[in-house]
Amino acid sequence: MKLPQNLIIEADGGSRGNPGPAGSGAAVIDADTGEVVLEIARFIGVATNNVAEYLALKAGLEGALSINAEARILVRMDSKLVIEQMAGRWKIKHPDMIQLGAEVQQLARGRQIRWQWIPREENSRADALANKAMDERIDSDRSLQDSTPRASTVEFDQLLPSSVRAPGSVTDELTTVILVRHGRTHLTESKRISGSGGQNPGLSEAGRADAHNVAKALAEIGNSGQWAHLAPVSAIVSSPIQRTVDTANIISNTLSLGIELMPEIAEVSFGDWDGHTADEVKVKWPDQFEAWRGAWDVAPPNGESLSTFDERVQDGRRQILGKMASKTVVVVSHVMPIRGFIRAGLNAGAEAYWRPQISPCSITIIRFWGDQAAEIVALNSTSHL
């Protein structure tokens, strides 16, 4: 088996009492495929948070070097102290840390290692392993190196666009956007047009069930299942319309994350057509309906044209990519805004607004490097429903 050439270490430690019962956790990831190849959980006994974090880093480095001593390594931790000390920008002053720091520096000496601080919410894999050690009070190492990579990860690049034909000058940070359409409402179920005006219904009973199912699927991202190779979700953004807020709240409760509301990603306005079926619109507004279909600049009476809507939703998309750079963010929205993100991801024309099917509580995943590059990972996935 070919040895991984680029590895990522995610490490974290914790202490319940500081000092108190402590544990450390580390995950070693093949950076070229996104596959977790080694998980380490160690129960330390009574120690401080800082000691646990250093021991997590030491265990992660030892694990990575046992896989390939010549690999290039990126260390990711939410401990600013450890990262800055290991990068040589801060001095190690505390007596408990000096010896541990020296041991880690000895492991790192002569290696190709980069040090990166990340927010706590992006370090959930290692945090879960540290808590596992504290809960079970035992050590456990789990090697996944010999498992056959899933088809979805064979050609996956953790940091850059995966295709060899993608531009080679990508410098913007990666933001993984997970687009979720809201659950069903009584208007969805009766096949009535439901835009950003008119009625503002909440989820139906079936819609709430769908939202709970999609929340469970989102909780698996970065941890298990078909998207374990992606980074875990660390932020949620939602349209302010009631059906999306209802869906986002269920997701928020499952993931223990807050929600940011963004009006720019609300559904397109259908104006006077809101609440009608398509057949009713054809009968009542026959000429306007035919002129509107497939048009870029024609709006429904008192509604939005695609050109106006697209300007709004692309502004919202760029705001998300700016605020959430380097994160995995769930965007809870509607059919047309999700298609707008797809249009940007594919650099497509107006046809992107009517060609993709977007089902209630479906998952669409797009990786964006600002406006420089994009990669479609999943489109309208409904296997969780």
Catalytic residue among 35, 39, 122, 182: 182
Q: Which residue in 302, 303, 314, 383 sits closest to 353, CA to CA?
A: 314
- Distance from chain centroid for Cα 236: 9
The tokens for 303 are 């509604």
Residue 239 near residue 332, CB atoms below 8 Å: yes
Contacts of 325 (CB under 8 A, 6+ apart): 172, 173, 175, 370
d(CA 184, CA 320): 25
126 class by beta-carbon count within 10 Å (0-12 exposed, 13-18 middle, 19+ buried): buried
Catalytic residue among 35, 53, 267, 304: 267
Q: Which residue in 372, 318, 373, 362 sits closest to 340, CA to CA?
A: 318
DSSP-based three-state secondary structure for 303: coil
Q: Which residue in 328, 336, 205 sits closest to 269, CA to CA?
A: 336
3-state percent helix, strand, coil for the chain, nearest multiple of 5 = 40, 20, 40
Backbone angles phi, psi at 206, to 5 degrees: -65, -35
Which ranges of 184-223 would DSSP assign to H, the alpha helix? Answer: 186-189, 205-220
Can 182 be counted among the known catalytic residues? yes
d(CA 193, CA 269): 10
Residues identified as active-site: 182, 267
